[in-house]
Structure 1
Amino acid sequence: MKDLYQQLENEQIGKIRLNEPLSKHTTMKIGGPADIFVEPNSIESLEKTVRLIREANVPFRVIGRGSNLLVNDEGIRGVVIKLGKGINHLEIEDEILRVGAGYPMVPLATIMSKKGYAGFEFAGGIPGSVGGAVYMNAGAHGSDISQIIIEARVLYPDGTLKWVSKEELNYSYRTSALQFDNGICVEAKFQLTKGDSEKIYADMQSFKDYRHSTQPYDMPCAGSIFRNPLPQHSGKLIEDAGLKGYKIGGAQISELHANFIVNAGGATAENVRDLIAFIKNTISDKNAIDLHTEIEIILPQESN
Structure 2
Amino acid sequence: MEKLASRLQEANVGKVLIGEKLANHTTMKIGGPADIFVEPSSIEGLETTIQLVKEFGVNWRAIGRGSNLLVSDKGIEGVVIKLGEGLDLLEINETEVTVGAGYPLVKLATVLSRQGLSGLEFSAGIPGSIGGAVYMNAGAHRSDFAQILQKAYILFEDGTFEWLTNEQMKYSYRTSILQKERPGICVAAVLNLTKGNAEDIKAELKKNKDYRRDTQPWNYPCAGSIFRNPLPKYAGQLIEESGLKGFQIGGAQVSEMHGNFIVNADNATAKDVLDLIEYIQKTILEKYHVELHTEVEIIGRK
TM-score by length of 1: 0.98
Corresponding residue of 1:85:
85
AA paired with 1:158?
D
Match of 1:172 in 2: 172
| Alignment match, 1:226 | 227
8 A contact 2:67–2:128 mirrored in 1: yes
Name 1:273's counterpart in structure 2. Answer: 274
Q: Please give the alpha-carbon distance, in whole angstroms, between the structure 1 residues aligned to 2:105 and 2:209.
A: 11
Residue deviations 1:66-119, cap 9 Å, x none? 011000101111110000000000011020000000001011111111111000
The corresponding residue for 2:113 is: 113
Partner of 2:200: 199
Which deviates the most, 157-166 or 16-25?
A: 157-166
In 1, Cα distance between equivalents of 2:44 and 2:287: 52
For 1:108, the aligned partner's letter is L
Q: For 1:22, give the aligned amino acid.
A: L
Partner Cα distance (1:111, 1:208) in 2: 15
Using the size of structure 2 for normalisation, the TM-score is 0.99
Structure 2 unaligned segments of length 5 or more: list them: none
AA matched with 2:243: G
Over the residues paired in the alignment, what is the CA RMSD in angstroms?
0.7
Deviations 1:12-61 (A, max 9, x none): 00001110010000000000111100000111111110111011011111
Letter in 2 for 1:79: V
For 1:53, the aligned partner's letter is V
More deviation in 157-166 or 277-286? 157-166
Following the alignment from structure 2 to structure 1, what is the Cα–Cα distance between the partners of residues 84 and 160?
A: 21
Secondary structure of 2:188's aligned partner: strand
Residue 159 of structure 1: how far off its partner (Å): 2.4
**Cα deviation code 1:156-208 (max 9, x no counterpart):** 12222121100000000000001122211100000011110000000011001
User: Quick check: 2:54–2:159 contact (8 Å CA) kept in 1?
Assistant: no
Distance 1:204 1:94 in 2: 20
Query: Aligned to 2:20, what secondary structure does the other structure show?
Result: strand
Structure-2 separation of matches of 1:245 and 1:254: 6
Superposition pairs of residues 1-304 of structure 1, within 5 angstroms: 1-180=1-180, 181-301=182-302
Dislocated runs of 4+, deviation >6 Å: none
Structure 1 residue 222 displacement after superposition: 0.2
Q: Percent sequence identity over matched residues?
A: 59
Q: 1:198 and 1:248 mapped to 2: Cα distance?
A: 45
- How far apart in 1 are the matches of 2:301 and 2:15? 25
In structure 2, distance between residues paired with 1:107 and 1:209: 16
Unpaired runs of 5+ in structure 1? none
Aligned to 2:150, the other structure's residue is in SS state: strand
For residues 140 and 132 of structure 1, what CA distance do their matches in structure 2 show?
Answer: 15
Q: Which amino acid letter does the alignment assign opposite residue 132 of structure 1?
A: G
Distance 1:296 1:164 in 2: 23
Aligned-pair CA distance for 1:299:
4.2
Residues of 2 paired with 1:144 and 1:157: CA distance? 25
Kindly indicate whether the alpha-carbon contact (under 8 Å) linking 1:8 and 1:52 is maintained by their aligned counterparts in 2. yes
